[in-house]
Every structure is written in structure tokens, then in C-alpha cells.
Structure 1
Amino acid sequence: MNHTNENEPIARELMEQHVRAMFRHDDDMRIRTINEPWPGEKPAPRFFLGRTIDGSVVWRIRHDVPERLAGQLKALVENEPIILSNIQTKPKHYADYMSLLQADHSTSGPCYLISRQTKPTKQTVSIISDNIAELSLSGFEWLIKEIDYDQPCVGLLHGNRVASVCRSVRITPDAHEAGLETLDEFRGRGYAAAVVAGWAAEVYKKGALPLYSTSWENTSSQRVASKLELSCYGVNFTIW
């Protein structure tokens, strides 16, 4: 697993870009909703903690978390270890965060930056509203409704059928988060890595950073990150 190099933004900056891409914020920097590019709004998690490989911490709370509770969470965040030596380690105050928020569910996983040098090893195609009708979308029928919102969208074709897709599922002017889908019957062929690389190149053309994050449980997604030798800048932790 690679880490960011001196020619890339520092880890804290990348984590800030990540949380801004993931959630919509109010003027007080409280998070309100998930930053999906298509119509509709879903509530953001109540607590977000991003720990980086350089020891920085980026955190957010939802707008409806009471001030007293926010203060208790802040005190715990400020006492998190300075250096993240093992990104798979739970936050130091994991149990306290869960207890304070009376939560029984959390999510966590690694966050990556895709390098400009990452290139697809297979031919990919940009999927846009002008060409989507020409493609076979069996298994990807839902893409028709989203195609105008989740650009760039890059696919890999098996014949004329879309077998794998990577698209922008969280978007800001500075960063895009990848959304990756590969049909079950086409997995294990390197298609996912190819579309992620192709998508990243299109995001860079827009002057934004291509970010890729996943969960610890999603081992197939982590294999894609490993195959592409993506730069890990930290790990996120959310309580819903």
C-alpha cells in the first residue's frame, strides 16, 4: 500500500477534500446531507472522523448534534493519537464515540488518491447522454437516470455491453469521489481497475482530484486499490 508523495497534496488537505466531497456543509461547517450529484437529499452521518497518515485529524458533526455533546466529542477527537501507524486500528476513543451518540452502527475504511500516472491497461469509453442509448445496459439500466449527473462516467465494454463502470458519485469543484460497479459475471478480469484509471484521467482533465474510498469489509474494492497502487492518505470513520 503506497502513501502520498511529495508532489501530491498533503494528507490533511486530501482528507478535507474528501469530507467536503462526501457531505454538504452549512455556514458553521456542520454537515447536513450526503453530497449526491443527482436530485434528492439523504441525511449525513452524525459524526465523521478522518485520521491521516501524517497524524492529522479532520472531523465533522451533523447540524442537529447538541452543543454539549459536540463539546464532548471535540475533547475526545483532540486526544486521538498524533501518528496513525496502522490505519486499520480503530480510533482510540471508539467506544466513547459510540456511547455518547448511543450508536450501534459505524462505518470505516481507507481513503486513496489516484495518481496522474495511473493509466488504464484496457480500453475504456466515456459514457455520456449522447452515446448511452447505443450501449447495452443489461444490469446497468439505472445508469440512464443518473448519466447527466455523475460525470465523468467511464465504462468498459464487453462487445457492446457495459461490463464495468466508474463514475463521479460525490462532486465538488476540487475533488470527485469514485463510484465503482462491475457486473458479477465480469469480475476478476481487471475491468474494475481499468475503469477507475480511465475515470481518474477524466477527472484530472476537469482540474479536480480523483479520490477513491471504500470500507474495510469491501475486499474486492481494496484489491482494485492495491492493483492500481493507489496512494493511501488516511482512513475515515462515521457514526450514523
Structure 2
Amino acid sequence: MNQLNDLYEPNWENTANKLMEYHVEALFVHDQHSRLLTINENLGPTVPAPAFFLGRTIDGKAVCRFRYDVADKTATRLQELSLEEPSISEFPAKPKYFAEYMALLHGQQYTMGPCYFVPRKVTPSLQVKSLTRENAANWLPHDFEWLIRELDVSQPCVALVHQNRAVSICRSVRITNFAHEAGIETLKEYRGNGFAPAVVAAWAIAVRKLGCLPLYSTLAENHSSQSVASKLGLAYYGSNFTIA
């Protein structure tokens, strides 16, 4: 049995801070000083990381990271403020010190969203297929053809196939040795049929077989993704906030 799952899963509520650390490490490439460098993309051009990441958790602790070019004095003040952020029990509004964070970094844009852990009890309600480069051409014409070139670096990848056509997929889009972040795509005409929850559940099982933890996060405005989390009963452990 995998030691990571044994250590963290039975009492995941007490390890929200650790899950948030796994989350930020999956999202971004760090330097030797734990400063943010780039977004952790397997394909495509290199994209700079945001200037500031704040992960508030249900255990009252916050995970704070800064881009490599943020001045030390500014980083110190951001860290001090983050330590005063209150604990959260559900996806909340803006951080307590939102205005101060934005002012310190002269921020123009920000993002925020809920973070979830996929418990072991979550299982797919529908049959899905694992996708690899060898079999993908059978089910990915037209709608998901773009995915074929990404399959080697987006594993595990699973799909719900309807009439010999992949209509909903879930794959690993941010990967570390300890955790994978889910990426979901469902064709518009097939949404609302329970397909997305099924592929997320199957994907999580595949991630566990690799000895890693399955994580799921989304943006505040993405209500459909939050609905998937609710339908699956995913475990909410905190909220992320970034300033570009």
C-alpha cells in the first residue's frame, strides 16, 4: 500500500496545509529558494509564474510563495500578512488582506478558486477508457484531436466514449512526484449528463496507482467545475489566490 496515501488520506482534514504545498508545487516550477519561476506546463511556450501565490486552508495555515523577482522586503511583508489570514471552512470571498496584497505588488489582475482532494471512496459511475497514444486515434477524431500530441505527457488520461467518440476526458495537467492536478474537458452538447464526474473518478484511481495524490482545483467563476466537485463529494481543503 502506498505510504503517501497511508500517511495523509485517513485524516486529510489535518493535512490541508500539506495538500496546499503539493498544489502549489504542481502548479509552478520553483527555484532552489522556493521562489516561483514559471507555470508547470508540459507542452507549449514557457509562461511566467504569478508574482504571488496564497493558499488559505481549512486548518488555519496559509502557504505563501513569491516569484523570483519580488523584492525581499515586499516578500517579507506579504508573508507577515498571510500569517494573519483566518482559517476557512468553505470557498470564501477575497482574502482578508486583499487590498494590501494588491497594493504591495501594484497588482492589476488576480485569480482565486477552491482546491479539492479526491478521496479514495470516489469511484466512477460510468464505464470509461484509458487513453494512450496507441489507442487514442480510435476515439479522438475532430473534437479532441489536439490531445493526441499531448498524451505522452498528460498521463493518466481517461475518456468517456459515446458512440465511438470521446465526449468527456480527464487528464493530468500539472504533475509532480507526489501529486497530479486534474484537467477536464467535456463537449458542450454532452454536459450535464454525469460524464465529467465519471472521468474524474477514474482518473483519480489511475493517479493513485502511480503512488500519487489526485488533486482538483478550479476558478471562482467556473461553476460547472465546482458542480463536478460537489457531485463527487470531493474534499475541500482550501482556496488559492494569485496576483499576476
The two structures share one fold, judged by TM-score above 0.5: yes
Q: Is the counterpart of residue 200 in structure 1 residue 199 in structure 2?
A: no
Whether the 8 Å CA contact 1:138–1:161 is kept in 2: the answer is no
What is the match of residue 209 of structure 1? 213
What is the match of residue 71 of structure 1? 76
Q: Is the counterpart of residue 95 in structure 1 residue 106 in structure 2?
A: no
Code of the residue aligned with 1:76 in structure 2: it is L
In structure 2, C-alpha distance between the alignment counterparts of 1:86 and 1:227, rounded to whole Å = 16
What is the match of residue 165 of structure 1? 169
What is the match of residue 155 of structure 1? 159
In structure 1, C-alpha distance between the alignment counterparts of 2:26 and 2:59, rounded to whole Å = 21
What is the match of residue 131 of structure 1? 135
What is the match of residue 232 of structure 2? 228
In structure 2, C-alpha distance between the alignment counterparts of 1:101 and 1:65, rounded to whole Å = 8
What is the match of residue 31 of structure 1? 36
Q: Is the counterpart of residue 146 in structure 1 residue 167 in structure 2?
A: no
Code of the residue aligned with 1:12 in structure 2: it is N
1:209/1:168 Cα in 2 relative to 1: closer, same or farther (>3 Å)?
Answer: same
In structure 1, C-alpha distance between the alignment counterparts of 2:185 and 2:38, rounded to whole Å = 23
Deviation at 1:160, TM superposition (A): 1.0
Code of the residue aligned with 1:7 in structure 2: it is N
1:225/1:86 Cα in 2 relative to 1: closer, same or farther (>3 Å)?
Answer: closer
Moved runs in structure 1, 4+ residues, more than 4 A?
none
What is the match of residue 61 of structure 1? 66
Q: Which moved more, 1:42-51 or 1:68-77?
A: 68-77
Deviation at 1:74, TM superposition (A): 1.7
In structure 2, C-alpha distance between the alignment counterparts of 1:193 and 1:109, rounded to whole Å = 19
More helix by share: 2
Unaligned runs of 5+ in 1: none
Whether the 8 Å CA contact 2:61–2:83 is kept in 1: the answer is no
Code of the residue aligned with 1:26 in structure 2: it is D
Deviations 1:186-222 (A, max 9, x none): 1011100000001000000000000000011000000
Identity of aligned residues (%): 53
In structure 2, C-alpha distance between the alignment counterparts of 1:32 and 1:232, rounded to whole Å = 27
Q: How many residues align?
A: 236
Instruction: Report the secondary structure of 2:21's partner residue.
Output: helix
Q: TM-score, normalised by structure 2?
A: 0.93
Q: Which moved more, 1:67-76 or 1:102-111?
A: 67-76
Q: Which moved more, 1:144-153 or 1:134-143?
A: 134-143
Deviation at 1:136, TM superposition (A): 3.7
Deviation at 1:39, TM superposition (A): 5.0
Deviation at 1:43, TM superposition (A): 0.7
Unaligned runs of 5+ in 2: 1-7
Whether the 8 Å CA contact 2:28–2:39 is kept in 1: the answer is yes
- The partner residue of 1:84 within 71, 85, 88 is 88
Whether the 8 Å CA contact 2:197–2:232 is kept in 1: the answer is yes
In structure 2, C-alpha distance between the alignment counterparts of 1:138 and 1:231, rounded to whole Å = 35
Code of the residue aligned with 1:126 in structure 2: it is S
